[in-house]
Amino acid sequence: MSAEVLTGATARRRPVFVQLVVFASVGAAFNVLYGLLYLVLREQLSAQPANALALILSTIAGTFGHRYITFGVRGTDRTVRHQALGLALLGFSLAVTAGSLWLLDTLVAQPSRLQEVVVLIAANLGTGLVRFFVFRVAMIGRRDYEARV
């Protein structure tokens, strides 16, 4: 890979599908970080606080990762705005996944763990797409996109 491929401008000019694949890859890496943080924090905290703290920390780290790797955003410009957006989207994702589990529990008397996991995966795929497109607009901007079209 040449140095040009790694520049912020090049990352911003990637086709949407390529950005989506990179976004999913970066997201997967930060999900691993989330799991590891949870396990470490769970040694000292109960499940809910460990989960919340691991989610918040991995979301902050993941937002930095998406800024830099997926969307090629360099420097500190709009960092606070992007982090606030990442945390708001985390709240959105939590609401959708919790609502999905509630709906499953309402529709199925005794849902199996497999059913729960399938519902959570589907909900997370949907919210992941929303996160991608919201981040894409926030980090690349409509003007940059329209200038290239």
11-55: pLDDT as tens digits: 667 788 899 999 999 999 998 998 899 899 899 988 888 888 998
Do 58 and 27 touch, CB atoms closer than 8 A? no
pLDDT of residue 40: 92
Structurally, the chain folds into a number of domains equal to 1
By CB atoms closer than 10 A (0-12, 13-18, 19+), residue 39 is exposed
pTM summary value:
0.74
Query: What is the pLDDT at residue 111?
Result: 87
pLDDT digits (tens, 9 = 90+) for 47-57: 888 888 998 99
Token digits of residue 42: 């769970």
Q: Residue written as tokens 């000292």?
A: 44
Looking at the predicted structure, is the pLDDT value of residue 108 above 90?
Answer: yes
What is the pLDDT at residue 1?
Answer: 40
What is the domain extent for residue 21? Answer: 3-148
